[in-house]
Chains A and B, each alone.
Chain A
Amino acid sequence: MTGWHVDDETLRHYVERTDSVAEGASVERHLLNCAQCRARVNTAATAVDLAVVDLAAVWDGTRDAVEVPRPSVFERLLRALGLPAHEAQLVAVASAFRGVWLVGVAAVLAFAAGAAVIGHARGLWFFLAVAPLAPCLVVAFSYDRRWDPALEPETVTPYPTLRLILLRTVAVLAVALPAVLLLGLVVPGAAPFAWLLPAVGFVALVLAASTWASPLNAAIAVSAAWLMTVWLLAARAASPSAVLQPWTQVAFLVLAAASFGTFLVRRRHVRQLRPWR
């Protein structure tokens, strides 16, 4: 500090930009180190008739920019994978990705897997009953407006519905499948992977059925039918491995293909189901 400060005349020239080459340079040099003169310039520069920009408007823009929440980790991951920003947002807001819901699904699956490890035959039945249903229920819930407030603006927005549905389904499966698969690894035998095709088949079936009814009702119907089948098989004391036979797997593959075909053929009807009640 030299105790020296820019005099009023020089300061006025600087603010009005009527100063000379060397004058401006020395003022700027001084300003970086002198809070007092900086405050004077700042006050002068903020005066309405001299302001170079509308500082109040710039503040509004700045505040808006910093108050926009940063995209979630998942959304940033989707963007990194090449999805356009608005689509990444649409996919990421699906309620299926909200913490509580994921934790619930994980807990049920963990319980099923635990049962399969402890009590062998009956536990394995339990796992086979629950695991294939998890993905289709997650998908169905991600389309139910009671669970997903974001759905309403989405379906009103002019946007290819089919693309949105497929994007969301793929995203949901991408989250649900690895989680279930990981838990399946602790289950003995071939079961860890046997439920994959049934799971895919059920998801396709729910999508196909959603051209007639709401996805949630479709998922409930599919779940009920599957649980009934499992219960009947178990009651007849059949071995759980019956579900794991190659021909049953082929049957589920056919189911998945047929359902998806139906869904594509009837995709226009998804639109009229917009309220999905």
Chain B
Amino acid sequence: MEGPPSDETLLVGVAERDMGAFRALYERHAGWLALRLARRCNDRDLVADAVQDTFVAVWQKPRGFRGDGDIAAWLWGIAIRRLVSRLRQRTDVAVVFESTGIMPAVEDQVLLSVEYGDIGAALVRLSPEMRAVIQAVVLDGLSAKEAAQLLHVPVNTVKTRLYRAKAQLRTTLAEGLA
């Protein structure tokens, strides 16, 4: 078979201590991971550290990928948690959730069209704090505890904001239908 090796092939190479495969995996994923992390944290150094931590973790435990789902999703799971862990050591860094919101897993086209629909409008009407919680928990798949560490707020605050945000979304959507 011609063409570039798949992520799975590269990961097998990493497990066999192949630096070339590791490099290829890095070049394929580091860019978008850094970009996505930077949308959640405005400290470039921390983002760089988190990306490095992510790939060091991949090198140390390439068999952590259990073969379920996409390797990209696995990498993102590691990266966002590395960022949380880095943020925990630093309390002076502000977390930003720039212009991103929440979407359930539906068809991509539907998701994009939501921009002009009710959910998009409902999201915009949420306060930034609530949107941040919604994004961390729903979109990034973090636990309430991890979201609390990311946002530097108590766990109970995360739970409260999540509850209120969902309630507000529900109300806004119901109003739209009426």
Chain A interface residues (CB < 8 Å from chain B): 2, 4, 10, 15, 17-26, 28-33, 35, 38-39, 41-46, 51-55, 57-59, 61-63, 65-66
Contacts and interface: CB of A to CB of B under 8 A. Distances in A.
A35 to B, nearest CB: 7
Given A25-B103, A26-B108, A32-B73, A66 B23 contact: no
6 contacts: A19-B99, A30-B111, A38-B72, A42-B28, A43-B31, A65-B52
Interface of B: 7, 19, 22-23, 26-32, 34-39, 44, 47-48, 51-52, 55-56, 59-60, 70, 72-73, 76, 98-103, 105, 107-109, 111-112, 114-115, 119-120, 123-124, 131, 135, 139
Contacts of A46: 27, 30-31
A4 B73 CA distance: 19
A32 B56 CA distance: 21
A26 B111 CA distance: 5
A62 B99 contact: no
A181 to B, nearest CB: 37
Contacts, number: 143
Given A17-B99, A52-B35, A62-B52, A25 B111 contact: yes
A11 to B, nearest CB: 11
B55 to A, nearest CB: 5
B105 to A, nearest CB: 7
Contacts of A43: 31
B39 A31 contact: no
Nearest to B38: A52
Contacts of B26: 59, 62
A31 B103 contact: no
A46 B34 CA distance: 9
Nearest to B76: A32
Given A17-B39, A28-B139, A46-B27, 18 more contacts: A17-B99, A18-B99, A20-B124, A21-B124, A22-B103, A24-B100, A25-B102, A26-B108, A30-B108, A31-B36, A32-B72, A32-B76, A39-B28, A46-B31, A51-B31, A52-B44, A53-B48, A62-B51
Contact of B31 (A22, A26, A55): A55
Nearest to B59: A66
A10 B112 contact: yes
Contacts of A42: 28-32
Interface centre among A17, A22, A35 (most CB of B within 10 A): A22
A42 B30 CA distance: 8
